[in-house]
Amino acid sequence: MLGREDRCFGQAPAHARYVLRYVIRRLLRYAKYAAVGALVAALGGTLLGTLGSGLAFFAAPGILGGMGIGVVTAMIKVRPVNAVRI
């Protein structure tokens, strides 16, 4: 008859096999997520890059408009601390 130590040692290969299967499945799951994410990023980047370059020509302000927006933003964000409101 097998003692307790012999029975526990006999189950070790089975446990190792299940643990190894779990780890491999988990790695494959993460690899699938990474592959899908990379594919979506590649397609989204090329699609937005293609559309964005055409739309930017119409949507972007001119040089003077950009300067005006920058000056107004700077005036709003960078006010003196002791500014007196009238």
User: Does residue 41 fall inside a structural domain?
Assistant: yes
User: Does residue 86 fall inside a structural domain?
Assistant: no
Question: Residue 24: what pLDDT?
Answer: 94
Give 36-77 pLDDT, tens digit per residue.
988 888 877 777 777 766 666 666 677 778 888 888 888 887
Tell me if 2 sits within 8 A of 10, measured CB to CB.
yes
Token code pair at residue 81: 């601390």
Query: Residue 60 contacts by C-beta under 8 Å, 6 or more apart in sequence?
Result: 66
User: Does residue 82 fall inside a structural domain?
Assistant: no
Of residues 79 and 64, more confidently modeled: 64
User: Does residue 19 fall inside a structural domain?
Assistant: yes
Query: What is the rounded distance in angstroms from the CA atom of residue 36 to the CA atom of residue 18?
Result: 27
Query: What is the rounded distance in angstroms from the CA atom of residue 46 to the CA atom of residue 34?
Result: 18
State residue 49 phi and psi, 5-degree precision. -65, -40
The amino acid present at 63, given as its one-letter code, is I
